[in-house]
Structure 1
């Protein structure tokens, strides 16, 4: 449980750090915003499923939000996950969650595997956003776990 909680703390830190740097640098590249929105919405989808609710109404690859709106959504996700994780015990980590993906296909996955996926999924896309920042002559953001651990 401690490791998963620490991984989620890194996720909140990395998401917040990247979004703040994008705002500070005026990074409004459409693909960077699309990728950040994907991270935000994927996290929202998984939280919705963990809470036992249907996520089919949530679009994962939309591009309508501004950076400020995405920052607000990141905050809501963080609060939701913090609340969920506070109520979670080690004994429940292997409980199975039944859900349907965005295409309607049924799946069964343990809470442990879902939370691990959530903690790791955004890392790839945050790296893609950093690549876009560099290509736009902006400053990429250090988001490695060790930087978080040292912070």
Structure 2
């Protein structure tokens, strides 16, 4: 349980660090904003599913991303994941969650695997956004877990 919670502490920290970098780059390129919105919406999708609700009303990809909207979504996700993880027990990590994908296909997956996926998915897209920042004269952020661990 400690490892899962630590992964999410890192995720929330990394999202905030990257958001600051995107904002400081002048609001980010459309491609960076599109990826960042996707990352934040995907995190929202999973916390909705983890709470037993349907996420099919959410659109994972959109071209109308705005840095202020992303910031609000990240803040909401942080609050929801913090509350969810605070109530989660070690035993519940291995329970299966039944949920529907965005197209309605039903799956059953252990909660531990879902949480691992969310953390890894975010890391993947944060790397892509950092690459875009570098290519567009922004300032990419060092977001490695070990950097987070050394200071937190």
- What does 1:84-95 align with in structure 2 at a 5 Å threshold? 84-95=84-95
| 1:64-143 → structure 2 map (5 Å cutoff) | 64-143=64-143
State the superposition RMSD in angstroms: 0.9
The aligned residue for residue 9 of structure 2 is 9
Deviation at residue 120 of structure 1 after TM alignment: 1.1
Cα deviation digits, residues 117-140 of structure 1 (max 9, x gap): 111111111111111111111211
Counterpart secondary structure, 2:20: helix
For residues 88 and 62 of structure 2, what CA distance do their matches in structure 1 show? Answer: 31
Give distance in 1, aligned partners of 2:128 and 2:112. 26
Aligned residues: 151
Runs of at least 4 residues of structure 1 off by over 2 A? none
Q: Does 1:22 pair with 2:22?
A: yes
Deviation at 1:94, TM superposition (A): 0.9
Distance between the aligned counterparts of 1:98 and 1:43, measured in 2? 17
Compute the TM-score of the two structures, normalised by the length of structure 2.
Answer: 0.96
Q: Take 1:67 and 1:144, find their aligned partners in 2: how far apart are those partners?
A: 22
Please give the per-residue CA displacement for 1:87-106, whole angstroms capped at 9, x wherever unaligned: 10001111111111111111
CA contact (8 A) 1:27 1:133 kept: no
| TM-score, normalised by the number of residues in structure 1 | 0.97
1:52-80 CA-to-partner distances (Å, cap 9, x unmatched) read 00110011001323101101110000000
**Unaligned stretches of 5+ in structure 2?**
none
